């Protein structure tokens, strides 16, 4: 690769208080003009990493350079090189859009002409010119987001950090934000690190995806390469009678084109889950990727497509031990990773018939990033429950992260 590294991260570790490792010795590089997607569940260490790279937090050990400047010794130069769009809005809603941008320009030392020129240009880029002089409190969520992205770019940063840029936005707005991000990456050649826990967002935008879980990098590759890791297709069987899963499973285990059989358990039993992962080495989850544009998914039978929004809301009490299904509980499902899935479906159905097992539906799809995520972390990304210990750990991290002194 001839392109230079805009960001170089070496063995970065952040330990909050005693032994809670929010970021655990991560190293990676980001090349000029790249969009690096940071994919991971809540509490994985994404925001902590961004806060360290933006010099808001000091790492416990390790170091990094941003645009050639060391985060430890040249924090001001790093801050000038970056634009940071935080997860929660950081606009002053009592000021107008233009005033927010002007404030930012002054804070970064731009003179009047440069500010006016740049503000005009960026308002056009994010299509907010006609609302620029309205108070931000009258803006919609998507407009606020666009204004923040514009603000992050105002001082000509070489790198833009976007922390969950579309969190809480509706699908159309999300799509338009994606287009804005893509456009500014291409037109302005801005290097971007984007954190998200939406796999389809990472897939759509990223040049490369870095999957992070429990503070560690578990995978770093292009979206296509990541998906190619899971060779074959994912076939999801839904059983009429859940008890028959155990009857049918041994029959499948002996077939050579079935590479993997997996029940997507809820994250409650994480230890058991990792053990299972070790023995199966790879797994896949049922996924219908509601909003994935290129899902290549065909449904046989009457499997309900679950809209993304409702998937996220289906958080059940932690005591629920049943199997997970793309964020929804599916006690009757079994996922198979098979070669040439389309041709195998008749064989599977025939096998089920012979065994007297009744299948409610059979669904086929190409491995999506959700499957990759599950395969490398052993958890479903939409499963926000986690084990009890994970939850305790996560809460502690969040609490401590809030209590952590931030570098001024």
Partner 1 sequence: MKMVQPLSGQAIYVVLLRELKRYWRAKARVISSVAQSIFFLAIFGLGLGGFVGRFGGVTYLSYMAPGVIGMGLLFGSVASGVSVIFDRQFGFMKEMLVAPVSRTSITMGKILGGATTATIQGIILMTVAGFMGAFTPSLTFLVGAFAAIGAMLLITAGFVGLGVAIGSTLNDFHAFQLLSTFVMWPIFMLSGVFLPIDVSPLPLQVAMLCDPMFYGVELMRWCLLGAGADLLGSLGWLISLSVVAIFDILMVGLGTYLFSRSQI
CB of 39 to partner 1, least distance (A): 23
Stretch that binds partner 1, among 86-94, 179-187, 297-305, 388-396 (CB under 8 A): 86-94
CB 295 within 8 A of CB 366: yes
Judged by CB under 8 A, which of 20, 72, 95, 295 binds partner 1?
Answer: 95
CB nearer to partner 1: give 108 or 257.
108
Q: What is the dihedral of CA 342, 347, 352, 355, to 10 degrees?
A: -170
Q: Which of 146, 182, 184 is nearest to 165 (CA)?
A: 146
Sign of CA dihedral 381, 383, 384, 389: negative
Binding residue count for partner 1, defined by CB under 8 A: 33
Coil, helix or strand at residue 333: strand
Q: Which of 92, 119, 91 is nearest to 105 (CA)?
A: 119
CB of 253 to partner 1, least distance (A): 53
CB of 7 to partner 1, least distance (A): 16
- What is the spatial distance between Cα 4 and Cα 32, in angstroms, rounded to a whole number? 6
CB of 47 to partner 1, least distance (A): 11
Coil, helix or strand at residue 21: strand
CB of 94 to partner 1, least distance (A): 5
Q: Does 109 bind partner 1 (CB under 8 A)?
A: yes
CB nearer to partner 1: give 94 or 124.
94
Q: Does 112 bind partner 1 (CB under 8 A)?
A: no
Judged by CB under 8 A, which of 8, 32, 70, 99 binds partner 1?
Answer: 99
Q: Does 398 bind partner 1 (CB under 8 A)?
A: no
Q: Does 156 bind partner 1 (CB under 8 A)?
A: no
Judged by CB under 8 A, which of 90, 127, 241, 269 binds partner 1?
Answer: 90
Buried b / exposed e along 303-319 (16+ C-beta atoms within 10 A): beeeebeebeeeeeeee
Stretch that binds partner 1, among 104-112, 230-238, 337-345, 367-375 (CB under 8 A): 104-112
CB of 44 to partner 1, least distance (A): 20
**Which DSSP symbol is given to 346?**
H
The site map against partner 1 for 12-51 (x = CB under 8 A) is ----------------------------------------
Q: Does 133 bind partner 1 (CB under 8 A)?
A: no
Stretch that binds partner 1, among 83-91, 177-185, 267-275, 357-365 (CB under 8 A): 83-91
Q: How far is CA 135 from CA 89, 101, 130, 177, 320, in A?
A: 15, 12, 12, 21, 46
Count of beta carbons in the 10 Å neighbourhood of residue 101: 26
Q: Does 56 bind partner 1 (CB under 8 A)?
A: yes
Q: Across the chain, which distance is largest between two alpha carbons, in Å?
A: 79
Q: How far is CA 349 from CA 60, 264, 358, in A?
A: 55, 21, 9
Judged by CB under 8 A, which of 1, 2, 18, 76 binds partner 1?
Answer: 76
Q: Does 260 bind partner 1 (CB under 8 A)?
A: no
CB nearer to partner 1: give 95 or 318.
95
CB of 82 to partner 1, least distance (A): 8
CB of 174 to partner 1, least distance (A): 20
Q: Does 392 bind partner 1 (CB under 8 A)?
A: no
Q: Does 403 bind partner 1 (CB under 8 A)?
A: yes
Q: Does 103 bind partner 1 (CB under 8 A)?
A: yes
Q: What are the start-end ranges of the H helices in 198-340?
A: 199-205, 223-229, 244-253, 270-280, 308-313
Spell out the residues 6+ positions from residue 224 whose beta carbon is closer than 8 angstroms to its own. Answer: none
CB 105 within 8 A of CB 168: no
- What is the spatial distance between Cα 239 and Cα 174, in angstroms, rounded to a whole number? 35
- Residue for token pair 């809480």: 168
- What is the spatial distance between Cα 214 and Cα 317, in angstroms, rounded to a whole number? 22
Q: Does 73 bind partner 1 (CB under 8 A)?
A: no
Judged by CB under 8 A, which of 28, 84, 239, 325 binds partner 1?
Answer: 84
Q: Does 304 bind partner 1 (CB under 8 A)?
A: no
User: Which residues sit at the interface with partner 1, rule CB under 8 A?
Assistant: 54, 56, 75-77, 79-80, 82, 84, 86, 88-95, 99, 103-104, 106-109, 151, 402-408
């Amino acid at each position: 690769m001839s392109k230079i590294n805009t960001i170089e991260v070496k063995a970065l570790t952040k330990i909050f208080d005693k032994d809670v490792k929010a970021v655990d010795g991560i190293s990676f590089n980001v090349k000029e003009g790249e969009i690096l997607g940071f994919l991971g569940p809540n509490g994985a260490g994404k925001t902590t990493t961004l806060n360290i790279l933006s010099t808001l937090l000091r790492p416990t050990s390790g170091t990094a350079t941003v645009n050639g400047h060391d985060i430890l010794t040249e924090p001001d130069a790093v801050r000038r090189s970056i634009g940071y769009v935080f997860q929660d809005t950081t606009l002053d809603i009592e000021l107008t859009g233009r005033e927010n941008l002007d404030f930012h320009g002054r804070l970064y030392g731009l003179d009047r002409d440069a500010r006016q020129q740049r503000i005009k240009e960026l308002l056009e880029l994010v299509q907010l010119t006609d609302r620029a002089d309205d108070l931000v409190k009258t803006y919609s969520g998507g407009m606020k987001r666009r204004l923040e992205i514009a603000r992050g770019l105002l001082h000509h940063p070489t790198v833009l950090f976007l922390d969950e840029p579309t969190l809480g936005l509706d699908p159309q707005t999300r799509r338009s934000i994606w287009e804005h991000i893509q456009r500014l990456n291409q037109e302005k050649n801005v290097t971007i690190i984007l954190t998200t826990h939406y796999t389809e967002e990472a897939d759509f935008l990223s040049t490369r995806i870095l999957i992070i879980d429990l503070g560690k990098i578990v995978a770093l590759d292009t979206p296509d390469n990541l998906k190619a890791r899971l060779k074959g297709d994912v076939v999801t069987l839904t059983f009429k009678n859940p008890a028959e899963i155990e009857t049918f499973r041994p029959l499948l285990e002996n077939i050579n084109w079935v590479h993997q059989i997996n029940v997507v358990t809820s994250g409650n039993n994480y230890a058991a889950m990792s053990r299972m992962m070790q023995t199966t080495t790879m797994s896949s989850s049922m996924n219908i990727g509601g909003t994935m544009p290129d899902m290549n998914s065909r449904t046989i039978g009457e499997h309900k497509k679950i809209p993304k929004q409702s998937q996220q809301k289906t958080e059940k009490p932690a005591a629920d031990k049943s199997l997970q299904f793309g964020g929804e509980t599916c006690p009757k499902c079994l996922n198979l990773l098979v070669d040439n899935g389309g041709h195998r479906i008749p064989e599977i159905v025939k096998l089920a018939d012979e065994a007297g097992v009744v299948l409610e539906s059979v669904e086929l799809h190409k491995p999506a990033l959700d499957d990759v995520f599950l395969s490398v972390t052993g958890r479903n990304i939409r499963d926000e429950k986690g084990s009890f210990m994970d939850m305790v750990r996560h809460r502690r991290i969040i609490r401590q992260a809030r209590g952590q002194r931030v570098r001024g």
